[in-house]
């Protein structure tokens, strides 16, 4: 009788362990599936930025990019997204840390006025954060362009005079690309906030923008670092920039 009870308990224990293994495997697979989405976002943002910078005489001026403290890219933003749910797109941002770029944070971009400024085609948005005030806005969980902080249309190509003015005065410079046309675009009423779901999938729970962008506490998976590596291909800084 004792032997039968022992065998019964043993089989029950093995069965429970096997169920736990299945559940753990499912959780791992789910995590891997979520991370694939964040990797894809980083790859899309890197691709958009590369295409913009490789356009002859139509890219972001090199001196402007070299002065930027952070860069955000929102690929394939659709007008329909602003009508349904108020969120038009997802994107990433990375900031300088020394002579390299930080791991990216994940963002959403929305706001009624953006939907009026873009057509039916998908639009790519690029934001350059030019000084401490611009960077501080990015560290918040949510901020509004034209409300909490202003964003000016950025110069393109060899617009030397505009480039100088932009570098001196702007906190954030904004650009858009639609149907192959890349240009500076002043954005107002646009709400940008940290995408908590993407941040959790990429880095784990309770990770903030400050943890990633400023305190350098987070090491991103190699596949996610494709975006900051792309930024480094076009702009590195050998020494600290004078504060604005």
Alpha carbon distance 1, 4 (integer Å): 5
The reply to whether 71 falls in a domain is yes
The reply to whether 29 falls in a domain is no
What six digits make up the tokens of 24?
């753990």
Alpha carbon distance 77, 73 (integer Å): 10
Q: Domain containing 173: what range?
A: 52-234
The reply to whether 174 falls in a domain is yes
The reply to whether 30 falls in a domain is no
Alpha carbon distance 234, 20 (integer Å): 48
Residue 193's contacts (CB-CB under 8 Å, 6 or more residues apart) are: 107, 108, 141, 142, 143
Q: pLDDT digits over 90-144, tens only? A: 999 999 998 899 999 999 998 755 544 445 567 899 999 999 999 999 999 999 9
Alpha carbon distance 94, 128 (integer Å): 10
Q: pLDDT digits over 155-174, tens only? A: 898 765 555 565 567 899 99
What does the DSSP 8-state code read for residue 243? P
The reply to whether 42 falls in a domain is no
In the three-class reduction of DSSP (H, G, I as helix; E, B as strand; rest coil), residue 124 is classed as: strand
Name the residue among 143, 125, 146, 137 with its Cα closest to residue 191.
143
The reply to whether 27 falls in a domain is no
What was the pLDDT predicted at 52? 94
Is 104:227 a contact under the CB 8 Å cutoff? yes
Q: Where are the alpha helices (DSSP H) in the chain?
A: 2-53, 62-67, 80-83, 112-117, 132-139, 160-169, 196-203, 209-213, 226-234
Q: Which residue has the higher pLDDT, 216 or 244?
A: 216
What was the pLDDT predicted at 56? 77
What is the tally of structural domains in the chain? 1
Confidence of residue 81 (pLDDT cuts 50, 70, 90): very low
């Amino acid at each position: 009788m004792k032997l039968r009870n022992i065998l019964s308990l043993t089989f029950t224990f093995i069965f429970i362990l096997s169920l736990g293994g299945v559940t753990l495997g499912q959780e791992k697979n789910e995590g891997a599936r979520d991370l694939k989405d964040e990797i894809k976002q980083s790859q899309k943002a890197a691709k958009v930025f590369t295409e913009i910078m490789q356009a002859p005489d139509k890219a972001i001026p090199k001196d402007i990019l070299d002065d930027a403290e952070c860069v955000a890219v929102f690929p394939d933003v659709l007008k329909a997204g602003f009508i349904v749910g108020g969120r038009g797109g997802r994107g990433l941002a990375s900031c300088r840390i020394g002579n390299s770029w930080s791991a990216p944070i994940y963002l959403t971009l929305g706001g009624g006025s953006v939907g009026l400024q873009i057509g039916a085609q998908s639009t790519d948005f690029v934001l350059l954060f030019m000084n401490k005030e611009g960077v501080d806005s990015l560290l918040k969980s949510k901020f509004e362009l034209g409300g909490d902080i202003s964003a000016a249309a950025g110069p393109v190509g060899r617009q030397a005079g505009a480039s100088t003015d932009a570098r001196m005065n702007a906190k954030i410079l904004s650009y858009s690309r639609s149907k192959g046309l890349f240009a500076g675009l002043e954005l107002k009423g646009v709400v940008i906030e940290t995408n908590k779901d993407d941040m959790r999938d990429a880095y784990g729970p309770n990770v903030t923008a400050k943890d990633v962008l400023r305190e350098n506490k987070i090491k991103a998976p190699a596949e996610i670092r494709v975006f900051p590596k792309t930024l480094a291909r076009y702009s590195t800084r050998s020494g600290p920039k004078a504060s604005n």
